Amino acid sequence: MSDLVIVESPHKAKTVKRYLSGDYEVVASMGHLRDLPKSKLGVDIENDFEPQYINIKDKESLIKEIKKKAKASDHVYLAGDPDREGEAISWHLAQLLGLDMNDKNRVTFNEITKSGIDAGMSNPRTIDLNLVNAQQARRILDRIVGYKLSPFLWRKIRRGLSAGRVQSVAVKMICDRENEIRAFVSQEYWSIDAMFLAEGSKKAFASKVDTVDGAKPDLKSKADADAVLKRLEGAEFIVDKVKKSVRKKNPAAPFTTSTLQQEASRRLGFQGRRTMKAAQELYEGLDIKDMGPTGLITYMRTDSLRISDEARAAAYDFIKEKYGDAYIPEKPRVYKTKGSAQDAHEAIRPTNPAITPELVKASGVTNDQYKLYKLIWERFIASQMANCTMDTMSVDIAANGVMFKATGYSVKFDGFTVLYEESKDEEEEKKNVLPPLAKGDKLTPKEILGNQHFTQPPPRYTEATLVKAFEETGIGRPSTYVTTVTTIINRNYVERDGKQLKPTSLGEVTNELMSEHFDKIVDVKFTANMEKSLDDIESGKIGWVKTLQKFYKEFDSELGTAEKEMEGKRVKVPDEATDEICEVCGKPMVIKIGRFGKFMACSGFPDCKNTKRIVQETGGDCPFCGKRVLLKKSKKGKKYYGCENNPECSFMTWDIPTEEKCPRCGSTLFQKGGKNGILICHKQDCGYQRSLSGESAGSEE
């Protein structure tokens, strides 16, 4: 007989098994084995919100197999992920297997490495019921909101709609931002920008007007700018003041779940789901050259910035060997975790700095796994390196009562920037190199221009900036960010426009109804306070039943009032007008939103029932039959490109059509891979391709 270790996934099971002796058998539960029923509420509200869990239907054979193995084992260890969800999965397993709740059978691994697994197996504990109750409370809260509120939306808007607690707040945030953009009135303003040449210098440097007669100028029109420009005609431009200083730039902290999703979006173009999928795989373990299955990063759902002393020491060893002692900071860096953070785990970091991105890439991992590991590895190593030191210079230039200001810097010591710098949502000013200057120097203006600008509305949220807003306002937790964004898109309340998120007409109508009748549900502060209550349940400060009772009393009252006020009323979702004409009756076609997304329908409905799919042209031609190539979506929502003549023509590809034509056969060229990928011709028997990076792609003429 042997001991049984139960984890969630086969990948994790494979890596854990590698580090345990033959006395252990490791199996995967494939996530939850029990849940609330889909066909009904499944919560006894009158009996202290008792959940009515059932075995998940398609997991009956797996449950039977795990029960059999548990019965044949000396001891069972429950090794779910180290968070609320993992604790709940372990508790459900204990219930199913009839384990003693007082037995120390719960083990957690912050990293899937030999030391991480040894530490976990050496410190078994009882199941933490506070963690379980916090997960149960969230699950029941979301079930009550979803199952009580959804039927109301069916009756008042359209059948098939569903509501979510955190999702409704996210939709409101996106709708509120859209309303801000619509209400924004752009204001004209002007700046006066100059390029100056210092004596003996051939390269001009940039400067702009800072003050006029000692005050900040308010240049609202061309006339205002022209008045200042007139004052500058024939003026002498003299350096009035030079200020030199040394500035130190600190590296960014290692990743939390939120910052990882933001940076992966900005730098790699990854959506949250794609980021977390790759991160989960890195945590659970990959086959690394000469090492076997190895966990590459620490647990990826965390809001902590804490780093262990061992990890810091390992980073220092790598930095010394690779870059030298000068790149080690004078004192160890400690990053302060936000007060609202749970701090249950370390920040996201590589388990072993010596496993470089190059080694991981050489092991044949997927492109996503490599790119994300490289990002995590570089961010962590850089976070433990010395500051970047810069010589900065600020120069005031006087001319007839008008003061220009120029600033610039040069890097004195590159420090952590030799490896990594955090990307930004907004573009930073370009580096302005200033020549040696001293007070009294006379400058020659190369050009002085008045430039017109207009104030811009706040930008729409991207997935990265929305996740950042979740974190700042306290909505959701690291494990919920991706689910929230994915859900509101899948439910057609929000759609992607490039990287931006914008509300659909359905989302706006639903948000208006929710805001009018369920202001608590869509209130940011209320939702953040509820998250705080869940944290308090986890820490044992309050009881989960009491929390649910308080919430339900207010929610049930709101629902009753809304039913009375909306009795006999329905809300119409406005159609989106198009220029297309119905080929059946000649009336305009409109865009509607159904259960499966947007579609085109005749505005003459119900007299004319003509409908058709929305097609998005790409400008490309099919290499098989010459007809249009359209942007399409798979059943799972993944974009691909296919011939409009499908199914008669079978052409489809993930590669992006371009405007460029093949120099051999004249067919549309398709872009494969990212900006450093290749252009490829899909015409049969052509075979032309060309690298976008300038390197040979193998078949270019």
Does 238 share its domain with 90? Answer: no
Residue 427: the pLDDT is 46
The dihedral over CA atoms of 44, 46, 50, 56, expressed in degrees to the nearest 10, equals 0
600 vs 610: CA distance, rounded Å: 9
Q: Are residues 62 and 33 in the same domain?
A: yes
In a domain, 700, yes or no: no
Q: What is the pLDDT of residue 696?
A: 38
* Residues 414 and 504 placed together within one structural domain of the fold: no
Tell me if 492 sits within 8 A of 507, measured CB to CB. yes
Q: How do residues 482-523 score in pLDDT, each as one tens digit?
A: 999 999 998 999 998 878 999 999 999 999 999 999 999 999
Active site residues: 299
Q: How far apart are CA 402 and CA 231, in angstroms?
A: 8
pLDDT score, position 62: 96
Residues 97 and 175 in one domain: no
Number of domains in the chain: 6
* pLDDT value of residue 697: 43
Rounded Cα–Cα distance for residues 348 and 295 (Å): 12
Q: How far apart are CA 160 and CA 678, in angstroms?
A: 43
| CA distances from residue 616 to 186, 378, 641 in whole angstroms, order as listed | 32, 39, 10
Report the chain (701 residues): mean pLDDT per 10 consecutive residues.
90 92 91 94 96 95 96 95 94 96 95 93 96 96 94 91 92 97 96 95 94 96 97 96 95 95 92 94 93 93 91 96 96 79 78 96 94 98 96 96 95 95 62 89 96 95 93 88 92 89 95 94 93 94 96 94 93 87 92 82 93 83 92 72 89 91 92 82 90 53 40
Whether 194 is in a domain gets the answer yes
Tell whether 448 and 470 lie within a shared domain: no
Q: Is residue 571 part of a domain?
A: no
Q: Exposure of 214 by Cβ count < 10 A (0-12 exposed, 13-18 middle, 19+ buried)?
A: exposed
- Tell me if 263 sits within 8 A of 422, measured CB to CB: yes
94 and 161 assigned to the same domain: no
Residue 328 lies in a domain: yes
Query: Same domain for 402 and 368?
Result: no
pLDDT at 336 (0 to 100): 83
Residue 518 lies in a domain: yes
Nearest Cα residue to 375 out of 260, 258, 216:
260
Judge if 442 and 397 occupy the same domain: yes
Same domain? 377 vs 261: yes
The confidence score (pLDDT) of residue 498 equals: 79
Say whether both 374 and 394 belong to one domain.
no
Do 520 and 547 fall within a single domain?
Answer: yes
Residue 698 in domain: no
In a domain, 552, yes or no: yes
In angstroms, the CA 468 to CA 186 distance is 26
SS3 for 377? helix
Q: Is residue 294 part of a domain?
A: yes
> Looking at the structure, do residues 281 and 373 belong to the same domain, yes or no?
yes
Query: Which CATH number do you get for residue 103?
Result: 3.40.50.140
How high is the pLDDT of residue 345? 78
Residues facing 598 on adjacent strands: 593
Range of the domain at 48: 3-127
Q: Are 392 and 245 in contact (CB under 8 A)?
A: yes
Torsion of CA 456, 461, 463, 465, to 10 degrees: 70
